[in-house]
Amino acid sequence: EVQLLESGGGLVQPGGSLRLSCAASGFIFSNYAMSWVRQAPGKGLEWVSVISGSGGSTYYADSVKGRFTISRDNSKNTLYLQMNSLRAEDTAVYYCAKNLVSALAASRDAFDIWGQGTMVTVSS
C-alpha cells in the first residue's frame, strides 16, 4: 500500500525551529518529486515547497523562502522540512504529498498521495 506518514510537529515558540519528517512506503521513493503543503486552522491549502526525486532541485513559496529547507534521504525513503525562525502565521497542519508521475521538481504534476498531516503550533 502506498503510504506517507508525517511526524515531528508540535508546539514551538516564535523564532524557534522544528524539523518535520515524512516516511514513505509502497512506491519507489526516488522516482517522484515530493512537496510540503500546509493548511492553517479553518483555512485552505497552501503549497510550501517541492524537491526533485534526486534531491538536487528545490523550490519554495515566498512566504517561507530563506527560513525553511526541504530535503530528502532516498536511502531511508524519508522527506524532511527544516523550519527555522518560525512565526505565528506558520501555524498549520503540514502535509507531505507525492507527485502523480514525475521526479522533476519543476514538473507540472498533481499530488496523488498525501500523508495524514502533522500539526505545527507557533505560540508563546
Partner 1 sequence: EIVLTQSPGTLSLSPGERATLSCRASQSVSSSYLAWYQQKPGQAPRLLIYGASSRATGIPDRFSGSGSGTDFTLTISRLEPEDFAVYYCQQYDSAPRTFGQGTKVEIK
Per CB under 8 A, the list member of 59, 69, 84, 103 interacting with partner 1 is 59
User: What is the residue whose three cell numbers read 486552522?
Assistant: 41
For the chain, list the strands marked E by DSSP. Answer: 3-7, 10-12, 18-25, 34-39, 45-51, 58-60, 68-73, 78-83, 92-99, 111-114, 118-122
Backbone angles phi, psi at 54, to 5 degrees: -80, -20
Interaction mask 10-49, partner 1, x per CB under 8 A: -------------------------x-x------xxxx--
Per CB under 8 A, the list member of 92, 115, 120, 122 interacting with partner 1 is 115
Enumerate binding residues for partner 1 (CB under 8 A): 35, 37, 44-47, 50, 59, 61-62, 95, 100, 106, 108-112, 114-117
